[in-house]
Amino acid sequence: MPRPGCLIGAAAVGLALCGGTAAAQVEVTPAQLLGLARAALEAGAAGDARRYAEGLLARDPSDPDALTIVAEAALSSGDEAAARQAAAALYRDGRLPRAARYRAARLAAFAAAREERFLLSQIWLRRALTVAPDAAAEAQTIRDAASVRRQSPLSVELRFGVAPSDNVNNGSTTPDYVVDGEVLGGLSAGAQALSGWVGTGSVALAYRLSESPTQRTLLRLDLSTRRVWLSEESERALQDGALPWEEPLDAEDFGSARAAIGLSHDRALGGGALGLSATLGRSWTAGDVGYDFLALDADWARPLGEERILRLSVGTEWRDRPELDTRERLDALTATWQQGWSGGVTSVTLGAEQLESENANARATTLSFGLGHRLPQQVGPALVTLSATYAVTDYPDYTIFDPRVVGFVRVGRDDRRLSGRIEAALVDWSWAGFVPVVSLDGAATDSNVSRFETSSVGLGVEVRSAF
């Protein structure tokens, strides 16, 4: 009779370990069977190597050496699913060194890519990043993930952020309603700046319909939302400021959402790249439909020497506001000059917009000038980007109710807005390919109508994908 525990996978490999009474049985120890499996794998006999290793797994399902051989043999013989499952079992074994778990996660990712399960492959590469043994391995894994993403017809981009702000509703900095220097009354609490927190989230899906070395066509779906949480002080101000017959405003009244579906086509043209897109969508404000829109856009980018790019963009968006029964059209033109040097990038942007609307108070023309600069070297753990924009908006037909004449008067409106942003991507603190981004935003608007004279400062934290 064989000794207890001496038979390992006899059915699988036709061998009995530790000997026995039957003449057909051969005495083989676990170490010898492992050696046979390794030798078979090196000799290219993947099937034999896998059978020997599975014999060891019959004795100990968590045997890391046997799982490694099964994974490699299965991959070699074209059984990607079995290879991925064995590699997954290795990765989940917390007793193994980081380097071993890293190799297992990469093997699972490679097997998933061979199955053309590219999103699953990216998930495994993110897992590999969590156990990468050194910076070189981490950099290689990020490059591999970017390569897998290019192969995948479907891409997913997620962004989430939260930020405290002293003006979550873009409210006025003054309680008085002033037009051209004349005080005409007071502003409601909801029209004044309210403090609190702002949460944002977005999901961008893109499916590649066609691609060649010179063109690419994508089907896109974009979803985004903005939620507001008011401070206790702001909530009290809204409650106290509500008139007896009014329903007090709350945080939901300052939220918004957007959904859009569209097609985009990029093509090499004239030494540069031409992009065309058509987008159909809907925007919500305070839970109600704000407007439906159709947008057509085109942009052209052309390199102008080393690390120098000129980009021109033009677009038209038609809006239908069902609640107000009004229609609008927004035309936009943007030109950007981008110059790179020593790892840094500087950009200069000029923009012009014109909004035509059946609502006289919405008609406007905007001219803007923007500067951006990404520092060439890291500052501690962060890549730092600075940006600022100055915009002038003219509302020529803006009309108000003037209590002095008990009627509506066209006064026009002139807004001048300066905004800035300091953004630090904490690349050295990334995890699983997700990078925390800290930003400081500030903006101030000067207007002849005090309702639109605003200022805000916010410190935000966002999570972005590195690939």
Write down the residue that tokens 């500087």 correspond to.
Answer: 346
For residue 342, the model assigns a pLDDT of: 81
**pLDDT exceeds cutoff 90 at 394:** yes
Model pLDDT for residues 52-104, shown as the tens digit of each residue:
999 889 888 989 999 999 999 999 999 999 999 999 999 999 899 999 999 99
For residue 323, the model assigns a pLDDT of: 84
Paired with 443 in beta bridges are 419, 456
Amino acid at 207: Y
Write down the residue that tokens 């017959």 correspond to.
Answer: 245
265-291 mean pLDDT: 95
Single out the residue of 247, 187, 233, 224 nearest to residue 454, CA to CA: 187
- Confidence grade of residue 446 (pLDDT, cut at 50, 70, 90): very high
Encode the chain in three state secondary structure: CCCCCCCCCHHHHCCECCCCCCCCCCECCHHHHHHHHHHHHHCCCHHHHHHHHHHHHHHCCCCHHHHHHHHHHHHHCCCHHHHHHHHHHHHCCCCCCHHHHHHHHHHHHHHHHHCCCHHHHHHHHHHHHHCCCCHHHHHHHHHHHHHHHHHCCEEEEEEEEEEEECCCCCCECCCEEEECCEEEEECCHHHECCCEEEEEEEEEEEEEEEEECCEEEEEEEEEEEEEEEECHHHHHHHHHHCCCCCCCCCHHHHCEEEEEEEEEEEEEECCEEEEEEEEEEEEEECCEEEEEEEEEEEEEEEECCCCEEEEEEEEEEEEEECCCCEEEEEEEEEEEEEEEECCEEEEEEEEEEEEEECCHHHCEEEEEEEEEEECCCCECCEEEEEEEEEEEEEECCCEEEECCCCEEEECCEEEEEEEEEEEEECHHHCECCEEEEEEEEEEEEEECEHHHCEEEEEEEEEEEECC
Model pLDDT for residues 337-387, shown as the tens digit of each residue:
999 988 899 999 999 999 999 999 999 999 999 999 999 999 999 999 999
Whole-prediction pTM: 0.83
**pLDDT exceeds cutoff 70 at 21:** no
> Which of 27-36, 210-219, 441-450 bottoms out in mean pLDDT, i.e. has the lowest?
27-36
Which numeric CATH code is attached to 160-465?
Answer: 2.40.160.40
For residue 246, the model assigns a pLDDT of: 73
Under CATH, domain 10-150 is a member of which superfamily? Tetratricopeptide repeat domain (1.25.40.10)
**pLDDT exceeds cutoff 90 at 32:** no
In the chain, domain spans: 10-150, 160-465
Joined together, the tokens standing for residue 392 give: 């002038």
**pLDDT exceeds cutoff 80 at 397:** yes
For residue 307, the model assigns a pLDDT of: 87
Model pLDDT for residues 300-345, shown as the tens digit of each residue:
999 998 889 999 999 999 999 988 889 999 999 999 999 998 889 9
- Confidence grade of residue 25 (pLDDT, cut at 50, 70, 90): low
CB 1 within 8 A of CB 21: yes
